[in-house]
Chain A
């Protein structure tokens, strides 16, 4: 019968190998969690910049609409002559065109700015959290399934709003 007596070197080596194995396992496990998912619709709607821009847009829209309404009521007044009516009509048409133009461009421009900001802040968030990939989906078509454990929408939304407020 062969008898084996463990030496101190053997114990140290075994310990080191065990630590290495644990480290590799931890690393593999960790690398699996570095892909996260966010609900982009929730992110966009909840972002403070979106809410602010909505308020700004509505204020501007209402102000322009009020001017147009005033022009329209002036046009309906029986006291104005045909020359004044012609000038007012021209102003009304121009104002209406500008309002339509504003309606089309404002939303598109602001949406682009908001997404650009979300992307910039998300980059910082990913670096802080050591995420390799942040997948965004709002219609559940591009991402068919995402585990709740990797859904970081709320966490990212809090981060975005803090960053936006300059904190």
Chain B
């Protein structure tokens, strides 16, 4: 009986420890997502203005897209998906004319409207690349042009990059062949700004 009691006691201690470890992990995940939510899910925006066109780059954490797709019910699942895809980077890139004119017009790109839309949809990925802190060059793996059909006064594209360390500070480089403004650089200082709870 005495041996049984001892065994029971050890079992209880071990099971309690495991539960507390799980709770701690869960709490850490929640804290992380809470912090991301509080900073508005986006990094600082970096803008370069050349002549009358503003080019803005904003880094969006990939957890944002995972949560949008999967919902907030199972954060552990989201976190495991994040762990699998954490070397991916998504950058939101916006073009805006200072008088809110449509940049897809021939006056700006020198091409007709349809050709400009095609270029923004399928050709823009060749104009972007990222330089990591180790001076590695990562080419853009894809681009998604969010068409707004003249409703919004800007043009927005999502840029995708793969194989980047999640804690690495990157520099986005854009060779602007569309509006012929030359090379534009955007240095992301901090991947995400942590906030004190």
Contact = CB atoms under 8 A, between A and B. Distances in A.
Partners in one complex: yes
Interface of A: 49, 52-53, 110, 113-114, 116-117, 120, 124, 163-167
Contacts, number: 33
Given A166-B46, A166-B171, A166-B172, A49 B183 contact: yes
B34 to A, nearest CB: 30
B186 A116 contact: no
Contact of A49 (B51, B171, B182): B182
B182 A124 contact: no
Interface in B12-60: 46, 48-51
B49 A124 contact: yes
Contacts of A52: 183
B126 interface: no
Interface in B159-189: 171-172, 180-187
Interface of A is mostly: helix
A167 B46 CA distance: 8
A59 B180 CA distance: 20
Given A164-B185, A165-B185, A116 B172 contact: no
Nearest to A113: B182
Return the 9 tightest CB-CB contacts between A and B, nearest first. A166-B185, A166-B187, A166-B186, A113-B182, A120-B50, A167-B187, A165-B185, A120-B49, A116-B51
A114 B183 CA distance: 10
Contact of A113 (B48, B49, B180, B185): B180
A165 B185 CA distance: 5
15 contacts: A49-B183, A110-B182, A113-B180, A113-B181, A114-B182, A116-B50, A116-B181, A117-B182, A120-B51, A124-B49, A165-B187, A166-B46, A166-B171, A166-B172, A166-B185
A167 B169 CA distance: 12
A57 to B, nearest CB: 12
A124 B180 CA distance: 21
A166 B170 CA distance: 11
Contacts of A116: 50-51, 181
A116 B180 CA distance: 11
Nearest to B175: A56
Contacts of A167: 187
Contacts of B50: 116-117, 120
Contacts of B46: 166
A93 to B, nearest CB: 28
Contacts of B185: 164-166
Given A113-B181, A120-B49, A124-B49, 16 more contacts: A52-B183, A110-B182, A113-B180, A113-B182, A114-B182, A116-B50, A116-B51, A117-B181, A120-B51, A163-B48, A164-B185, A165-B171, A165-B185, A166-B48, A166-B186, A166-B187
Nearest to A110: B182
Contacts of B172: 166
Greatest chain A CB density within 10 A among B180, B181, B182, B187 is at B182
Nearest to B171: A166
A70 B66 CA distance: 54
Greatest chain A CB density within 10 A among B51, B171, B172, B183 is at B183
